[in-house]
A and B are shown apart, each in its own frame.
Chain A
């Protein structure tokens, strides 16, 4: 692979059935490019968790993916309510998701812990009332 590849997705916030489309596309793309299965898996899970969070909590947003020869960087940006207590949100099992989200199979408080588990670097930049930007880095090879 030569040079960087950039991908951009707009995530609608009002359609839960479409959540995960972008992550699915990126996973396919990385497999086609011959990226290692471990790195593909890490990107797929961490990005999907972020995409789901975006739909559940922030009425959608944008995702930018940069693929280089050494790493994959995913930036998830939303204009949602922001995260009040990041340390608390990072604890496995803590969730502010409403019951209707739990009925859909999410909101178990594993989203951010999973993103941390499956990324090599996770940066959360959030401001109450303004939104959240999550940056995930997964190293290749």
Chain B
């Protein structure tokens, strides 16, 4: 699944990183705790989160996250957008809640990125 597919499935809005929509995503992870993302996420993962601060972008940078989807209509501020652009991480926004957004992506074939 590409980032563009993720966008279409969720009816999401692209905040930045339009040029990276052809990137392949292999897994997805829904989390508001960045500590858990750092512990469990694998490569080429879509990160869905309701947390909205610069550390979400930093965490995604460290984990080579393919794109970030902000759920529940959360909107990143300009500092987050600037950092995401610098790190070449596309940001998407959807009005869906976390559970629904994860379910929609799962139903479309994307699986969890956790390793235990």
Contacts and interface: CB of A to CB of B under 8 A. Distances in A.
Interface string A89-126: 00010000000001011111111011001000000000
Contacts, number: 71
A92 B63 CA distance: 19
B53 A48 contact: no
A45 B63 contact: yes
Contact of B62 (A16, A20, A105, A106): A20
A135 interface: no
A27 interface: yes
Contacts of B38: 45, 48-49, 110, 114
A109 B35 contact: yes
Contact of A24 (B56, B58, B64, B79): B58
Contacts of A113: 39
B58 A106 contact: no
Interface string A43-86: 01100110010000000000000000000000000000000000
B55 A19 contact: yes
Contacts of B79: 17
A88 B33 CA distance: 21
A106 B35 contact: yes
Interface string B9-53: 000000000000000000000001111101100010000000101
A105 B51 contact: yes
Contacts of A92: 39
Contacts of A102: 33
A44 B39 contact: no
Given A45-B63, A114-B39, A104 B53 contact: yes
Interface residues of B, number: 21
Contacts of B61: 20, 24, 27, 44
B54 A105 contact: no
A106 B64 CA distance: 19
Contact of A20 (B33, B39, B43, B55): B55
Interface of A: 16-17, 19-20, 23-24, 27, 41, 44-45, 48-49, 52, 92, 102, 104-111, 113-114, 117
Given A48-B59, A110-B36, 18 more contacts: A16-B53, A17-B54, A17-B55, A19-B55, A19-B58, A20-B55, A24-B87, A45-B38, A52-B55, A105-B51, A105-B55, A106-B34, A106-B35, A106-B55, A107-B35, A108-B33, A108-B35, A109-B35
